[in-house]
Structure 1
Amino acid sequence: MQNSSIDVELLEQPMDCCFHPTEMLAAVGLIDGRVQAFRLTSGAAEEVVSKKAHKESCRAVRFTADGARLLTASTDRNMKAIDMASGKVTRWQRDAHEAPINCIHPLGSGVVASGDDDGCVKLWDGRQSAAIAEISEHTDFISDFAYQERDNCLVATSADATISVTDLRTRKVRARSEDDADDELLAVTVVKRGSKVVTGSQMGVLNLYSWGYFNDCSDRFPGHPNSVDALVAFDEDTVITGSHDGMVRLISILPNRMLGVVGEHGDYPVESLALSPGRTRLASTSHDAVLRLWDLSALHEEDGGEEEAAEEPVEDADPKADNGSHSDSEQKPQPKKRRRGEKGGRIAKKQSHKDASFFADLL
Structure 2
Amino acid sequence: MEGTACSTVELAEQPMACCFHGSEPLVAVGLVTGQVQAFRIASNGNASTSAPVEAFTKKPHKESCRAIGFSMAGHRLYTGSADGVMKAVDVATSKVKKWQPEAHAAAVNALLPVAENLVASGDDEGCIKLWDPRQASEASASFSEHTDFIADLAYQEKDNCLVAASGDGTISITDLRKMKLRTRSEEDADDELLSVAVVKDGNKAVVGAGTGVLSLYSWGYFNDCSDRFPGHPSSVDALVAFDEDTVLTGSQDGLIRIISILPNSMLGVVGEHGDFPVETLALSHDRLCLASTSHDTSLRLWDLRMLQDGAEEEEEIPEQLEEDAQEGGEKEASDSEDEPQPKKKRKKGKSGKVTGKQKHRDASFFAGLLKQE
State the TM-score, normalizing by the size of structure 2: 0.86
Q: Which runs of 4+ in 1 moved over 6 A?
A: 312-317
CA RMSD of aligned residues (A): 2.0
Of 78, 81, 84, which aligns to 1:74? Answer: 81
Report the alpha carbon displacement of residue 298 of structure 1 after superposing the two structures with TM: 0.8
Q: For 1:1-363, what aligned pairs fall within 5 Å after superposition?
A: 2-41=3-42, 42-128=49-135, 129-300=137-308, 302=310, 318-321=322-325, 322-324=328-330, 326-328=332-334, 330=336, 332-342=339-349
Does the 8 A contact of 2:233 with 2:331 survive in 1?
no
Query: d(CA) in 1 for partners of 2:342 and 2:317?
Result: 30
Query: d(CA) in 1 for partners of 2:116 and 2:203?
Result: 23
Gaps in structure 1 of 5+ consecutive residues: 343-363
Classify the secondary structure of the residue corresponding to 1:161. Answer: coil
Worse-superposed segment, 315-324 or 177-186? 315-324
The count of corresponding residues between Structure 1 and Structure 2 is: 337
Report the alpha carbon displacement of residue 160 of structure 1 after superposing the two structures with TM: 0.2
Query: d(CA) in 2 for partners of 1:176 and 1:216?
Result: 10
Report the alpha carbon displacement of residue 126 of structure 1 after superposing the two structures with TM: 2.7
Write out per-residue CA displacement over residues 65-94 of structure 1, whole angstroms, 9 at most, x where no aligned residue: 011110000001100000011111024211
Write out per-residue CA displacement over residues 106-131 of structure 1, whole angstroms, 9 at most, x where no aligned residue: 01241101100100000111343210
Query: d(CA) in 2 for partners of 1:326 and 1:48?
Result: 46
Query: d(CA) in 1 for partners of 2:318 and 2:225?
Result: 30
Which letter maps to 1:119? G
The higher relative CO (CA closer than 8 Å, separation ≥ 6) is in 1
Query: d(CA) in 2 for partners of 1:91 and 1:3?
Result: 39
Classify the secondary structure of the residue corresponding to 1:318. Answer: helix
Report the alpha carbon displacement of residue 303 of structure 1 after superposing the two structures with TM: 5.9
Does the 8 A contact of 1:204 with 1:224 survive in 2?
yes
Does the 8 A contact of 1:259 with 1:313 survive in 2?
no
Classify the secondary structure of the residue corresponding to 2:322. Answer: coil
Write out per-residue CA displacement over residues 12-67 of structure 1, whole angstroms, 9 at most, x where no aligned residue: 00000000001110000000000000001343100011111100000011000011
Classify the secondary structure of the residue corresponding to 2:104. Answer: coil
Classify the secondary structure of the residue corresponding to 1:115. Answer: strand
Does the 8 A contact of 2:85 with 2:102 survive in 1?
yes
Write out per-residue CA displacement over residues 239-287 of structure 1, whole angstroms, 9 at most, x where no aligned residue: 0000001110000000101011101100011110001121000000000
Report the alpha carbon displacement of residue 319 of structure 1 after superposing the two structures with TM: 1.8
Give the corresponding residue for 1:345: none
Does the 8 A contact of 2:118 with 2:131 survive in 1?
yes
Are the structure 2 counterparts of residues 289 and 303 from structure 1 closer, same or farther at C-alpha, using a change threshold of 3 Å? closer
Identity, in percent, stands at 61
Are the structure 2 counterparts of residues 265 and 173 from structure 1 closer, same or farther at C-alpha, using a change threshold of 3 Å? same
Gaps in structure 2 of 5+ consecutive residues: 43-48, 350-373
Query: d(CA) in 2 for partners of 1:92 and 1:206?
Result: 36
